[in-house]
Chain A
């Protein structure tokens, strides 16, 4: 990047909030996916005015801008494929307002998800979206990816809990989309913006819907000898009208991997375990636990453990929350798939995933938000072995084909980013993609906001063989 531009940018944010040394550029060249590309400069804005000034300059000079929170995303969404500016939002991290009577929290985008939860907890409130990354991921990043999490089965994903936003557009203009109050007139631009992966604008303020915490929770671990039995139990629980706070499935390989690093007490010889948590009024949960236990018995549960204390509950969750970390410990270059199927197809889809693992000789461990039909097969491979790398890639792509074949989608909560650009074509007709491109052109006609993401390279061409990412 030209010195003149570095100077201009330094003028906007000051010397302490800009980085352009090689070591810093390298640190911002990757996210939680294996690909690496170098940015030209990293800037840490402190205010909407600074973001707006940066965007004006970027617009004038046609420089790519990639807004970034904690960089935990799992689809390559924050990798600067065309270089440019990394707009690191972590220093805009103030909680501006919490109003329980209005059920709103107003925050800057760099606030970490868990920090907001910690501020809300003493008031008896919470913000439902709880991605596994919540200890480090920012709310702005959660909005960019429309993050989910285990609690989303009961409460819904990010899109349901963002009422309005202040957004800096590609040309630096500052607009408010959505509102603090319900149902503002006009198009639901906020709906479009959530999950847009930094391609439509930079959010600088978020108005969030917060809700009262449930009175109590009860947590169980149900151990099954077959995935089908576990899958059927999931369907029956939901059919009864019970909406658990969480309903997570882990397969045998996943349990084994978890037990290697976290001693959560999960069995290593059962085909599947369900982590079930019910939430609601304290004295009504016994009945739900009883019903769930009956359903599990009916579906040949081997063992049902019900946490009796907070310590026991934490132990049950420890395994699930530590799943990705546990995999990373034994095999750092894993790749996470993120397909979603209609929820009653989950067991079938997991079976198919097992067949795919055999076909390509790769190890696949499964964790799933079972109640939502959201699978996260983790494909483990040796990054130094080109054959295995290629096999892992093929296996991942076949997992997505499987999800689509079952009437599902290629991503439930991780986004398209770089990783699934080609797979977009499996999901959408050319007319669908054209409509999305039209949206992009309305918001960002010069294609400077996170360019080179989401859209397949050229819709008119047949799908090319996927290039290697690792």
Chain B
């Protein structure tokens, strides 16, 4: 006799229990409620503690044809294209060990469920750090950050995830365990599958371990807070980026977002923006950089330059990272998008965002990763007005040679506007997904929601 859906699920959960232990499979409505994604309540949550377990879970999911939604800390679950089906959550946060710290080679081998902030704490005890500092690093897991290609201010000097991760261990959508990359700085053996997995949003496999590059903590690290008019600030940014000063971060907050930075941003008048610049290195180099930045700030009529060091500097970056959530929380309907434009066109995109806000009488807060040409507007609007703003931002970004996508937003907005820009390589990406995940088990709808 054919089993009913619920009998199937029950059998699936039972077999999962045999793999990870029944205590590590949650099926009670009460327990699964906090794992709601995109309007779906999962039928179960399973906690794995090893790559081998993840592999067995995925094999079972293929047998039962039940989708698996990989989960680290959940901080990026409701970002981008929506899931098209519900399924079982596979949570990796109990895989949270620093497996090996190779101090001589400047690498660490880390299990995917380790939270970034905890990793930094342990590395700090050995005078190392990992220069990936996304806004959610207090809670986000390393595996999640790699899978979503998270980005943070230090990218300017230290590179993106793809420059910092040397290898990943992955369980493929059919349950095979594969090792990509290695622990050497250079490695060109075979196709670079590691790169393919970075930013693949859990659709091509589940990252269970990673080998990452470490850097010794710099002798000195300083932060400069520069207040200037919008025009002057962007001109200054252009000069800094074309200089040989090798800054580690240049972030910009507009007068709306700046208000959430605490004391440092409270005074920002309309039309004024705040630049957060980070410099690190030996004391001689930092002193020279500080001097050069101050001189350039002066020629560009900055109204204020504050230098912070030590605890104070760390605190301002903590506050900076909290701005993201504060803006999202300020008005419940807030949508956050991302515009990526040529680095030299960030000022134009900034103006376009502000103009769109004025046209629709909305206050839009903006954060800018100046070194990469990435702008994050936070739009507090509802219904059609939001859709109009999104449409004009897409148009503006595209006219500048870039693109705009909706990231964190209420479900209705993501369903309506979550599609990704048209790309000529979309067919190739879809073929890749089908070749790796013939049963569409991993994160169905994610990423590809907008690609076909």
Contact = CB atoms under 8 A, between A and B. Distances in A.
B417 to A, nearest CB: 13
Contacts of A188: 149, 162, 195-196, 198-200
Given A342-B184, A412-B188, A187 B429 contact: yes
Interface stretch (A5-13, A47-55, A175-183): A175-183
Contact of B191 (A124, A184, A196, A342): A196
A169 interface: yes
A213 B284 CA distance: 19
Given A281-B285, A420-B189, A438-B435, A186 B447 contact: yes
Contact of A212 (B244, B421, B436, B451): B244
A410 B178 CA distance: 18
A411 B189 contact: yes
A439 B423 CA distance: 19
Given A101-B242, A191-B196, A156 B190 contact: no
Nearest to A191: B195
Nearest to B405: A185
Given A146-B188, A436-B191, A181 B401 contact: yes
- What size tier do the contact residues of chain B reach? 35 or more
Given A191-B192, A411-B188, A438-B435, A281 B218 contact: no
A454 B191 CA distance: 9
Nearest to A454: B190
A271 interface: no
A183 B372 contact: yes
A157 B163 CA distance: 9
A215 interface: yes
- What size tier do the contact residues of chain A reach? 35 or more
A287 B284 contact: yes
B315 interface: no
A409 B187 CA distance: 6
Given A195-B191, A428-B179, A435-B176, A152 B186 contact: yes
Interface in B111-132: none
B344 interface: yes
Interface string B227-264: 00000000000100111111000000000000000000
Contacts of B192: 146, 159, 191-192, 194-196
A184 B403 contact: yes
A409 B246 contact: no
A414 interface: yes
Interface string A199-222: 010000000000011110000000
B238 A189 contact: no
Contacts of A157: 186
Nearest to B219: A241
A345 B104 CA distance: 8
B215 to A, nearest CB: 8
Interface string A211-245: 01111000000000000000000010011110000
Contacts of A240: 216
Given A180-B342, A372-B184, A432-B179, A189 B373 contact: no
Contacts of A299: none
Contact of B340 (A103, A182, A374): A182
A201 to B, nearest CB: 9
B106 A374 contact: no
Contacts, number: 267
A144 B181 CA distance: 17
Nearest to B187: A409
A156 B184 CA distance: 12
Contacts of A182: 160, 340, 372-374
A148 B243 contact: no
A187 B104 CA distance: 33
B176 A103 contact: no
A183 B284 contact: no
B26 interface: no
A136 interface: no
Nearest to B151: A183
A189 B429 contact: yes
B201 to A, nearest CB: 9
Contact of B176 (A99, A169, A194, A431): A431
Contact of B343 (A103, A194, A241, A415): A103
A415 to B, nearest CB: 5
A389 B244 CA distance: 49
Interface in B261-315: 281-282, 284-285, 288-289
A66 interface: no
A440 B428 CA distance: 12
B106 A343 contact: yes
Interface in A341-396: 341-345, 369, 372-374
Contacts of B200: 187-188
A200 B195 CA distance: 15
A148 B219 contact: no
Interface in B125-173: 149, 151, 159-160, 162-163, 172
A214 B244 CA distance: 5
Contacts of B184: 340-342, 372-374, 407-409, 412
Interface in A4-32: none
A58 B193 CA distance: 27
B344 A99 contact: yes
Nearest to A104: B342
B432 A342 contact: no
A282 to B, nearest CB: 9
B342 A438 contact: no
Contact of A187 (B180, B199, B338): B199
A212 B242 contact: yes
B183 A189 contact: no
Contact of A340 (B178, B185, B284, B426): B185
Interface in A81-137: 99-104, 124
A212 B243 contact: yes
A7 B338 CA distance: 51
A189 B428 CA distance: 9
Nearest to B423: A186
B349 to A, nearest CB: 10
Contact of A413 (B188, B204, B402): B188
A427 interface: yes
Nearest to B175: A431
B182 interface: yes
10 contacts: A175-B428, A181-B342, A191-B192, A191-B196, A280-B246, A342-B184, A429-B179, A431-B176, A435-B178, A439-B193
Given A180-B402, A184-B403, A196-B192, 14 more contacts: A175-B425, A176-B424, A180-B401, A185-B420, A186-B447, A189-B196, A212-B244, A215-B244, A241-B218, A431-B176, A431-B178, A435-B193, A442-B432, A454-B191
In the A-B complex, list the 7 residue pairs whose CB atoms are closest, starting with the nearest: A191-B195, A344-B104, A101-B344, A342-B105, A412-B186, A102-B342, A340-B184
